[in-house]
Amino acid sequence: MSTEPRSRDRLAEESGRRAFPVRGVVALVALAGLALAVSTVLTYRTASRVVEDRLQREALTRARTLAASLSALGARDARALQTLVATQQDRDLAYMAVLEGDGLVLAHSNPELVGRRQVDERVRRASQTHMPITELVLLGTGEEVYELTLPLRLPDAAATHLRFLRVALHTSAARWVLREAEVHALIVGLLLLLVGVLAAYELLTLRRYVALQAAHARRERLAVLGEMAAVLAHEIRNPLAALKGLAQYLHERQGGEAGSAEVTEAMVREARRLEQLAADLLEYARPRPIQRGEVKLEALLDELVARFQPEAQAVGVLIHREGARDLPPIPGDAERLRQVFTNLMVNALQAMPRGGVLAVQVLRAGRPGTVVVTIKDRGEGISPDDLSQIFSPFFTRRPRGTGLGLAIARQIVEQHGGTITVQSVPGQGTRFAVTLPAQEEAGV
């Protein structure tokens, strides 16, 4: 029974147990935060209305009280009118004024403004609607006051004319409700920011946890597969060698018998394939230690390009050898690195059965002390679903592949302290990049 599904199930179960409560808590926190934010906005709006209603009620009360006194006094005695307005003083009152419809100031808390004429839009609107007009007004001093303009009929010597009583209140005392709402909104905003940061941190922690669990499960799975592969390879190598030898013996004995020769030749061929599979299994399960020496990548790649030229020409593939020629040597195992680049070039040629271009390039990497080898084909490309699995052991889309070539290649590259990456676009081609530390940084 395969251990891979079991490992995946265990990983999914463990990740699920961890992810469910965390995601549930994050969702609850998000909902609570949204509810709190909505509540804060509504509270602030309510506080704004409360402040406005309070100022309006106070201004109307003052205006109607004074209007009754002004109506009784009339506009006949300008001095008495000014005295009545000027005596209206308290902490919340900014100023009072009585104005004509054309903006002439009949009385004002500031006597210096009496007799002046000013263009006043609020007076015009009150004159048209015969209704009180309220508005927040910013004074020249920078203070904001709540101003009410009330239509008022004051009798004088000739007739009763429409005049306007203006009451302006300081807003600072009434705005304490709004200030409390603003402080509350600030506190809520800071709390939401803190909760958001904590939630983001927890989600990142969860992602790291799941990634670590996946990596651990992968290592466990590969270890089990490696042990199984090693046992299997060890057990079949000796019988396989005997079968291959017997098939070769029969093939030599049969001589020119065409039918029998084809059968024994197929037996030998398949035995060799199984022998290579067993060797790959052992190579992956029990990788050999690196025999370090100085490796000149330029010479190694030139050798491989020359080796693959006949095969490439046979299928119409043109090999381009590009890159620098003065690179520092690589401290590594030439034979194992040859195995890596051989695998990549074989894969590239197999991806272009109807011809194309294979570009082999070596140059200095962006990081100091590293070199990068790229092998790029213009073949069929790799689908996004397969791209994330191509380095997994036993993964292959080819009918006769073992799925171990790229897994072993990555293993060898990582033994050298390097990395191997892949980019591919279906229908356009694939690019492998092998980055390795150079002699000048390795200290070997």
DSSP states along 6-46 = HHHHHHHHHHHHHHHHHHHHHHHHHHHHHHHHHHHHHHHHH
**Structure confidence at residue 246 (pLDDT):** 72
What is the per-residue pLDDT for 304? 94
Element (DSSP H or E) covering residue 157: none
Amino acid 76: pLDDT:
58
Close Cβ partners of 357 (under 8 Å, ≥ 6 residues apart):
317, 318, 319, 320, 377, 378
Q: Is the pLDDT of residue 166 over 90?
A: no
Say whether pLDDT at 19 is over 60. Answer: no
Distance CA 44, CA 49 (A): 9
Structure tokens given for 260: 């029998």
- The whole-number average pLDDT for the span 361-388 is 87
Helices (H), 150-294: 176-254, 258-285
Confidence check: pLDDT of 436 > 90:
yes
Across the range 195-207, mean pLDDT stands at: 80
What pLDDT is stored for residue 410 in this prediction? 92
Contact 365, 382 (CB under 8 A): no
When pLDDT is cut at 50, 70 and 90, the band that residue 256 belongs to is low
pLDDT at 215: 73
More confident residue, 175 or 406: 406
Q: What per-residue confidence (pLDDT) applies to 337? A: 94
pLDDT at 125: 86
User: Residue 158: its pLDDT value, please?
Assistant: 52
Quick one: pLDDT band at residue 2, thresholds 50, 70, 90? very low
In which band, very low, low, confident or very high, does the pLDDT at 89 lie, cut at 50, 70 and 90? Answer: confident
Contact 348, 360 (CB under 8 A): no
pLDDT over 80 (residue 117)? yes
More confident of the two residues 437 and 34: 437
Residues near 267 by beta carbon (within 8 Å), at least 6 away in sequence: 243, 247, 250, 251
- Model confidence band, residue 300 (pLDDT cutoffs 50, 70, 90): very high
Is the confidence at residue 141, as pLDDT, over 60? yes
Q: What letter would DSSP give residue 436?
A: E
Of the listed ranges 45-54, 161-170, 429-438, the one predicted with least confidence: 45-54
Q: How confident is the model at residue 25 (pLDDT cuts 50, 70, 90)?
A: low
- pLDDT of residue 9 exceeding 60: no
Q: With a cut of 80, say whether residue 350 has pLDDT above it.
A: yes
**Which are the contacts of 21, defined by CB distance < 8 A and separation ≥ 6?**
none
Arithmetic mean of pLDDT, 328-352: 92
pLDDT at 367 over 50: yes
Class of residue 367 by CB neighbours under 10 A (exposed 0-12, middle 13-18, buried 19+): exposed
In percent, how much of the chain has pLDDT > 70?
A: 77
**Could you identify the residue written with the tokens 């990582």?**
414
Coil vs helix vs strand at 347: helix
> In sequence order, which residues have a C-beta less than 8 Å from that of residue 234 and are 6 or more positions away?
282
* pLDDT of residue 224 exceeding 80: no
pLDDT at 338: 94
- Choice among 87-101, 178-192, 198-212, 301-315 with the minimum mean pLDDT: 178-192
Confidence band for 231, pLDDT divided at 50, 70 and 90: low
Q: What is the pLDDT of residue 32?
A: 73
Instruction: Pinpoint the alpha helices (H) of 74-160.
Output: 78-86, 121-129
Q: How far is CA 113 from CA 66, 86, 102, 116, 320, in A?
A: 19, 12, 15, 6, 93
Residue 120: the pLDDT is: 78
Per-residue pLDDT at 226: 65
pLDDT at 443: 42
Could you give the percent of the chain with pLDDT greater than 90? 20
3-state secondary structure at position 322: strand
Q: Which residue did the predictor score with more confidence, 12 or 95?
A: 95
Cα gap 424→260, rounded to integer Å: 45
Mean pLDDT lowest among 73-77, 89-93, 200-204, 371-375: 73-77
Query: Closest by alpha carbon to 380, among 348, 317, 427, 318?
Result: 427
Place of tokens 């941190």: 201
Confidence of residue 442 (pLDDT cuts 50, 70, 90): very low
Evaluate if residue 45 carries a pLDDT over 80: no
Band of the pLDDT at 33, cuts 50, 70, 90?
confident
Element (H, E) at 414: helix 405-415
pLDDT at residue number 3: 40
Whether the per-residue pLDDT at 75 is higher than 80: the answer is no
pTM score of the predicted model: 0.49
- Type of residue found at 87: T
Mean pLDDT across the stretch 295-304? Answer: 92
User: Does 229 score more than 50 pLDDT?
Assistant: yes
Amino acid at 193: L
Which of 361-365, 411-415, 422-426 shows the lowest mean pLDDT across its residues?
Answer: 361-365
